[in-house]
Amino acid sequence: MAVRAGEIKKAASDVAGLIEEGTTAAHSLNRTEGWLTLASFYRTAYDVSAKLGFSDLAQLCLARMDWAAQRGSDAVLGGMYQYLRALTYLREGKFEIGQRLVTRGLSTLQQADGTREREVVTGQLHLGGAVMAGRAHDANQALSHLEEAERIAGETGEAVRVHYLTFGPTNVKVHRVSVLAELDQYGEAVEATSGLTIPQDWPKSRTSHLFAEVARAQMWTGKLEASFENLRKARKAAPQQAKYHPTVRETYAGLEAAHRRLPESFLSFGSWLSAASGQVT
């Protein structure tokens, strides 16, 4: 829950102890619930590692998550594992590998019972596939994934707490913004935010991510002041996440490079970003 609230430091300080306790319990009881709980702890460790940019540690956490999920014989978690693996390759720019993992994840989910839980993870895999295809500038594939995710979301409704994937109609709309931006359709991406309402129970981490995506699109359409305002909103929603978020940093660098007259608040924002790593990247 701390990760979803954008409290990365709290999650990081808690998760090691949870994994230790969960490992002991899983081995002692050797029951499905214990192994699946342990898998969820490793998933949290993955989230923390990925958000802080520790890709090697994130990969290790994923491998341990998969190991625990297999001990618990859960095909849905197996599908989610492939989704999270695909995201790691997305960050590395290896889109073809990511797409293959999305396909593998969808295949794995066919082995699970036809529950709402399975449909939620299936829909999230399609959203991941849409972003992957967008990065590869394959518009047809990206829109196909979005359409399938939208269809599934119409059946599941908002499923914010199912594996904390935040899947549902809202997340499909948010991903449409991301995909259009990846396809360099920045004007359309900004337009796609029109009428987009964030539910009250949405995680701050996802809200912050949306503001960052909108800021990037606005920067490329020349709406520099609006772009910076959304960067500030991203920080307000989840400061610890925004400080390390690559889209926040890239957008700030782009605004800075515009060589416009910069307000003091903009320079202060840059100093805040620099505190994370010693430089703005």
User: What does the alpha-carbon distance between residue 211 and residue 234 come to, in Å, rounded to a whole number?
Assistant: 5
Q: Please compute the mean of the pLDDT values over residues 32-48 and round it to a whole number.
A: 91
Report which listed range, 26-40, 134-148, 193-207, is most confident. 134-148
* Tens-place pLDDT, residues 114-143: 999 999 999 999 999 999 999 999 999 999
Please tell me the predicted confidence (pLDDT) of residue 10: 80
How many Å apart are CA 229 and CA 213, to the nearest integer? 12
Lowest mean pLDDT among 22-26, 76-80, 179-183, 273-277: 273-277
Residue 278's pLDDT band, with cuts at 50, 70 and 90, is: very low
The DSSP H or E segment spanning 120 is: helix 116-135
Q: Tokens in use for 255?
A: 């605004």
Closest CA to 171 of 181, 163, 186, 160: 160
Q: Which structural domains are found in the chain, ordered by start?
A: 1-73 (no CATH), 75-193 (1.25.40), 203-272 (no CATH)
More reliable by pLDDT, 75 or 264: 75
What pLDDT is stored for residue 3 in this prediction? 64
Percent of the chain residues topping a pLDDT of 70: 94
pLDDT band at 13 (very low <50, low <70, confident <90, very high): confident
With the C-alpha atoms ordered 56, 61, 62, 64, is the resulting torsion angle positive or negative?
Answer: positive
What is the Cα–Cα distance from 99 to 103, expressed in whole angstroms? 6
Name the amino acid, one letter, at 184: D
Q: How far apart are CA 174 and CA 181, in angstroms?
A: 11
